[in-house]
Amino acid sequence: MLLEPAAPSKPLKLGVLLSGRGSNFLAIAESIRSGKLANVEIAVVISNVADAGGLISAQELGLPTALHVSKGRARADHDADVLACVREHSVDLIILAGYLRLLSPEFVAALPNRILNIHPSLLPAFPGLDAQHQAFDYGVKIAGCTVHFVDEHLDHGVIILQRAIEVLDEDDANSLSARILAEEHLAYTEAIARVASNQYEIQGRRYIKRYS
C-alpha cells in the first residue's frame, strides 16, 4: 500500500518518535523550515523518555509534543497509547528517529508502510544495537546508513535508500559514527521526500521509481 498523494493544500503529516538527543529529528525539522522538504509538516513529536533531548528541542521549536513513558509498561499497552496519540494528530507517516523501543506487531500492522526507521549501517549488515561499532570492529571498508520501512522484524523492512561512506585508516569508532550521522541527516530528508512524492512503489523488497 502506498500513501495517498497529498493534495497541494494538504501537507503530509509526520509523527516523530524519539528517545534521545534527536539530531535526526532536528535535521528533518530544518529541512522543512528551509523548504528542502516541501508540503510536509511535523504534526507531533512523541517521546518515551521524559528527559530526551529531542523532546526538549521540539518544545523549544513550539511543535506539538507528547510524552508516553514506556518504562515499566507492557509493550502492547504503551503502543496502544502511542497509536491513539498518532491518530489524534492525524499523522500520515511515522518517523522513528532514535526510538529505543521495539514496536509491537499490532502497532506495525496498524500502519503498513507508514513507519520509517533509520539505521546506522548498510543493512542487512549489522542490525541491532551499536551498528557503527559492529561495522568498525568487523573492519569494513564501506559503512553508511539505511532508511527503511518498518516491518515486524528488527531492522528488516523494505529499503528506501542508503548512503555510503569510506572507512578511513585514521578512523576510530567515534569518528566513523560521527561521519555516518552526518549522512543520516541527509538520508532521512531524502527518504521522506521520496515517500511524500508518491512516485515510488514497492515491488517485492525493492522500492523503485514508478514509470507509468
Binding interface with ligand GRF (CB under 6 A): 20-24, 54, 97-98, 118-120, 181, 184
CB of 152 to ligand GRF, least distance (A): 18
**CA 72, CA 78: separation in Å to the nearest integer?**
10
User: Which entry of 119, 148, 153, 156 is annotated as an active-site residue?
Assistant: 119
**CA 212, CA 210: separation in Å to the nearest integer?**
6
CB of 54 to ligand GRF, least distance (A): 6
Q: Among all residues, whose Cβ is closest to ligand GRF?
A: 98
Pairing of strands 12-18, 93-96: parallel
CB of 162 to ligand GRF, least distance (A): 12
Nearer to ligand GRF, 11 or 98 (CB): 98
Nearer to ligand GRF, 40 or 49 (CB): 49
Any bridge partners for residue 162, and if so which?
A: 146
**CA 91, CA 67: separation in Å to the nearest integer?**
16
Nearer to ligand GRF, 6 or 36 (CB): 36
Active site residue 148: no
Is residue 142 within 8 A of residue 102, CB to CB? The reply is no
Annotated catalytic residues are: 119
